């Protein structure tokens, strides 16, 4: 239908079938953040400028007369208008109808079906060539960052009416496209005087609730956060006829060679990117080429963020597609590297409406693998070449990196090699597992560890005595995550991880260096065995066994976990978290060489009540040494009082 106006005839068109319903989905469902509309319009404008550059390689006259490529944002706060203008390729009448009257050039119904099914919109038609703003199929060398068609409609989230004036480069015609986004649009020829000399001007008549998008503060914030690195300069004109102020210069730090970037520039970029004020401990900047091409710039902070252990905290890697911001929490790195800040920029992901679905792309999986490997390799180099700097990183993020030991099977050995530990041999320093294996005893086939919530407490654990006396190094693990990874990490360089609070210690094969003369075992052993049998019978409801220990050299007793099941610390963690109903019965180990045990072994049947009180007190003593409290504090106090009375009256 054509209607006449005083100046130009206006053609009235309806959108393709189902477009109104699709627009409703776009506005109310697909985009969760209304700010995205400006990113989409800037993306399309940059796309038009890049398309002009590409076409001008074969038709040089197309780019004549307008100077450098640019994007201008003009604000009219009083009139509630926002204008986005570029001097790119522009559109003809047919291209305006095709690009803005249909969705994604692939058939509206097919596009909508795929959108509702949660599939990337770009795949809506595998048999059609996709077209950019200029209407020509894009070439491999054209660095296009958007498709004028899908993202454009996000502007109806904030605008009650949109006018698009466009003039195709190399032509003497300009056209005006107008719509309220409710099912139809009008198009008419424009006077050249009211049209740009080349390119496209989009004017948004903002809704009252969206008038803030005509303010400088809001627009400048969005541009710098989401479009600060598109390859075209962006100017801001604060009000009509005002002088433009440049917001971005069309360059991106990560596109430069490392040799061209100073440490200070990296540091400034990191602080702006992360919102933190420390200096990064490590900078990883590289470009990957091959099946998937991308540039990555990642920073390892020095200071841990306050929400590092927030269970809902996601990574902080930004994702760009051809320098256009997509999301600030892309799944580019595994969760155990969530402290790394940075970005990835690739041309191999589609810039389409389904931003949330981009995480499922196989391209992103290739990028994730590559970036993860490079970050871990950089940490390995830092460990080898700058141990002090690496220990700073480890002190801040070691407990998080260790999550990967049980989450990332593929890189488990690499993460174990990166781990640092307090040990019985480290003094005030830290040791690697390579250090541990190098200094292990001849015939030692295990890496021994003990875990607990407090370093001083586990250093005083009686289970350590036999290992310390024999010079066998033990890892001292104090992070909650340690109990999980240690149980799930089968080996490091053919040595299994073994908790010294679980199962038998098997230390007899490592003789004590100052064993000295043994007492008459033929005489003492039967007496000790008799006491162990008595204790085993008395404590059968509370322990699974009472046995002689080869791990105790100073203390009389200790508790260990059975061979099958969890070690003592992991069992406590699971119980506290409500993940374990009822604990397994521990094993009470007794040091038969301890003077107290030797004296108890010599007590006869006539003092049966004393032996019973002593056996139960020994169990409570073992509980206290294990960081627990007596099972029955009142009974413990009564027994202790009886023993004191006997001792004082003797």
- For residue 137, the 8-state DSSP code is B
Q: Report the alpha-carbon distance of residue 374 to residue 392 in Å, rounded.
A: 20
CB 612 within 8 A of CB 449: no
Binding residue numbers? 40, 44, 86, 91, 106-107, 147-152, 200, 355
**Cα three-residue angle 487-490-493, rounded to 5 degrees:** 135
How far is it between the farthest Cα atoms of the chain? 123
Using left for φ > 0, alpha for ψ between -120 and 50, and beta otherwise, residue 80 falls in: left
Write the CA distances from 591 to 217, 460, 463, 518, 549, integer angstroms: 74, 16, 11, 14, 5
Edge-to-edge strands, sheet with 184-190: 2-3, 10-14, 184-190, 174-179, 159-167, 199-206, 81-86, 71-76, 234-237, 245-248
Query: For residue 318, what is the enclosing H or E element?
Result: strand 316-321
SS (H, E, C) 158-184: CEEEEEEEEECCCCCCEEEEEECCCCE
Cα gap 469→335, rounded to integer Å? 40
CB atoms under 10 Å from CB of 66, counted, come to 16
Q: How far apart are the first and last CA of the chain?
A: 117
What distance in Å separates the CA atoms of residue 518 and residue 238, rounded to the nearest whole number?
93
Please say whether the beta carbons of 342 and 298 come within 8 A.
yes
For residues 127-144, one letter each, b for 16 or more C-beta atoms within 10 angstroms of the residue's C-beta and e for the rest, the string is eeebbbbbbeebeeebbb
Which of 185, 183, 124, 181 has the alpha carbon at shortest distance from 156?
181
Identify whether the C-beta of residue 393 lies closer than 8 Å to the C-beta of residue 356: no
Rounded to whole angstroms, the Cα distance separating 186 from 176 reads: 8
Binding-site sequence positions for ATP: 40, 44, 86, 91, 106-107, 147-152, 200, 355
Taking residue 439's Cβ as centre, other Cβ atoms within 10 Å add up to 13
Q: Report in angstroms the alpha-carbon separations of 330 from 29, 334, 370, 378, 612.
A: 20, 10, 14, 21, 63
């Amino acid at each position: 239908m054509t209607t006449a106006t005083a100046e130009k005839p206006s053609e009235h068109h309806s959108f393709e079938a189902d477009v109104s319903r699709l627009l409703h989905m776009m506005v109310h469902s697909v985009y969760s953040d209304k700010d995205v509309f400006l990113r989409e319009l800037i993306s399309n404008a940059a796309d038009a400028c890049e398309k002009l550059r590409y076409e001008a390689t074969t038709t040089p006259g197309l780019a004549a007369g307008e100077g450098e490529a640019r994007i201008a944002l003009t604000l009219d706060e009083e009139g509630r208008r926002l204008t986005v203008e570029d001097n790119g390729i522009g559109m003809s009448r047919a291209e305006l109808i095709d690009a803005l009257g249909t969705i994604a050039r692939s058939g509206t119904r097919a596009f909508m079906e795929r959108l509702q099914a949660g599939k990337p919109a770009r795949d809506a038609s595998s048999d059609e060539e996709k077209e950019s703003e200029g209407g020509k199929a894009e070439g491999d060398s054209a660095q296009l960052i958007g498709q004028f068609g899908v993202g454009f409609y996000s502007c109806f989230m904030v605008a009650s009416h949109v006018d698009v004036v466009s003039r195709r480069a190399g032509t003497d015609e300009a056209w005006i496209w107008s719509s309220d986004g409710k099912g139809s649009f009008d198009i008419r020829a424009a006077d050249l005087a009211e049209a740009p000399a080349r390119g496209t001007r989009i004017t948004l008549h903002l809704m009252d609730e969206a008038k803030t998008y005509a303010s400088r503060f809001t627009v400048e914030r969005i541009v710098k956060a989401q479009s600060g690195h598109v390859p075209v300069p962006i100017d801001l004109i604060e009000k009509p006829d005002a002088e433009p102020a440049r917001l971005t210069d069309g360059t991106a730090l990560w596109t430069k060679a490392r040799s061209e970037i100073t440490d200070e520039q990296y540091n400034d970029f990191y602080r702006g990117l992360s919102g933190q004020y420390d200096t990064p401990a490590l900078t990883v900047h590289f470009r990957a080429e091959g099946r998937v091409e991308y540039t990555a710039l990642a920073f390892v902070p020095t200071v841990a963020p306050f929400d590092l252990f927030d269970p809902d905290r996601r990574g902080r890697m930004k994702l760009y597609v051809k320098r256009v911001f997509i999301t600030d929490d892309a799944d580019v790195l595994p969760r155990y590297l969530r402290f790394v800040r940075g970005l990835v920029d690739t041309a191999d992901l589609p810039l389409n409406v389904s931003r949330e679905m981009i995480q499922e792309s196989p391209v992103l999986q290739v990028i994730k693998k590559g970036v993860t490997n490079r970050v871990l390799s950089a940490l390995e180099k830092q460990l080898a070449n700058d141990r002090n700097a690496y220990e700073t990183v480890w002190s801040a993020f070691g407990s998080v990196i260790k999550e990967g030991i049980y989450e990332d099977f593929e890189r488990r050995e690499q993460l174990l090699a990166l781990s640092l530990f307090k040990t019985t041999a480290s003094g005030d320093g830290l040791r690697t597992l390579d250090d541990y294996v190098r200094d292990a005893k001849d015939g030692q086939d295990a890496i021994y560890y003990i875990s607990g919530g407090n370093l001083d407490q586990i250093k005083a654990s009686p289970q350590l005595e036999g290992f310390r006396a024999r010079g066998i190094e033990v890892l001292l693990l104090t992070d909650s995550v340690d109990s999980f990874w240690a149980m799930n990490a089968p080996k490091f360089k053919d040595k299994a991880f073994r908790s010294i609070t679980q199962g038998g210690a098997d230390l007899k094969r490592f003789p004590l260096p100052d064993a000295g003369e043994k007492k008459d075992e033929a005489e003492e052993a039967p007496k000790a065995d008799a006491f162990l049998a008595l204790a085993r019978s008395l404590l059968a409801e509370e322990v699974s066994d009472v046995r002689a220990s080869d791990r105790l050299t100073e203390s009389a007793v200790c508790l260990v976990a059975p061979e099958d099941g969890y070690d003592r610390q992991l069992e406590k963690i699971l119980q506290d978290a409500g993940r374990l109903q009822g604990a397994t019965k521990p094993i009470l180990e007794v040091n038969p060489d301890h003077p107290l045990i030797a004296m108890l072994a010599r007590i006869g049947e006539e003092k049966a009540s004393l032996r019973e009180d002593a056996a139960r007190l020994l169990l409570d003593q073992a509980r206290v040494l294990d960081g627990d409290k007596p099972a029955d504090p009142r009974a413990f106090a009564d027994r202790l009082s009886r023993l004191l009375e006997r001792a004082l009256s003797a």
